[in-house]
């Protein structure tokens, strides 16, 4: 499994934050859901996606 380097993670951090602002708060949920589906397709693994969903549900 590939992991992000610290530098890559910083890129993701900024890209996500700026895209959320660009989407506007009213469309943030829709944007994030689209992004999750695109990431799932890129991941190509429903089981891994299910586990990631579990992780994201923690400590909300």
Partner 1 sequence: MHQPHSEPRRSLYFNYQVFPAHTASVGAARVERKPVVVVGAGPIGLTTALDLARHGIACVVLAAERQVSEGSRAIVFTRRSLEILQQVGVAERVCELGLPWSCGNSFYRNQRVFRMESPHDPDDRYAPMTNLQQPCLEQVLVEAAEADPLVDLRWGNRVTGLAQHDDVARLSIDTPAGSYELDADWVVAADGARSTLRTLLALKLEGTAYEGCFVIADIKIDLGLPTERLAYFDPDWNPGNTVLMHREPGDIWRIDYQLPANETPEQALKPESLRERINAQLHMLGVEDPQWEMDWSSVYSARALTLPNYIHKRVIFAGDAAHLLPIFGVRGANTGFQDCHGLVWKLALTLKGLAGPKLLPSYSTERVSAAREIISEAGKSTRFMAPPTAGYRLVRDAVLSLSLTQAFVRPLYHWRTSRPHDYADSLLNCATDDNARFTAGPRNGAPLLNIRLAADDYLFDHLGACFYLLYFTERVCIPSDVVEQVQAIRSSGVPLRIIAIAQSAQAAISGADQLIDGSTGHFAARYGITREGAYLVRPDQHICARWLQVSAAQLQSALDTALGKH
Site for partner 1 (CB under 8 A): which residue of 9, 38, 39, 43? 38
Site for partner 1 (CB under 8 A): which residue of 10, 17, 34, 56? 34
51 makes contact with partner 1 (CB under 8 A): no
- Residues 25 and 22: their CA atoms lie apart, in Å, by 9
41 makes contact with partner 1 (CB under 8 A): yes
Minimum separation from the CB atom of position 13 to partner 1 (A): 22
């Amino acid at each position: 499994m590939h992991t992000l380097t610290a530098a890559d993670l910083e890129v993701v951090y900024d890209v996500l934050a700026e895209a959320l602002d660009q989407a506007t708060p009213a469309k943030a949920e829709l944007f994030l859901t689209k992004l999750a589906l695109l990431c799932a397709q890129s991941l190509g693994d429903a089981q891994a996606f299910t586990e990631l969903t579990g992780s994201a549900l923690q400590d909300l």
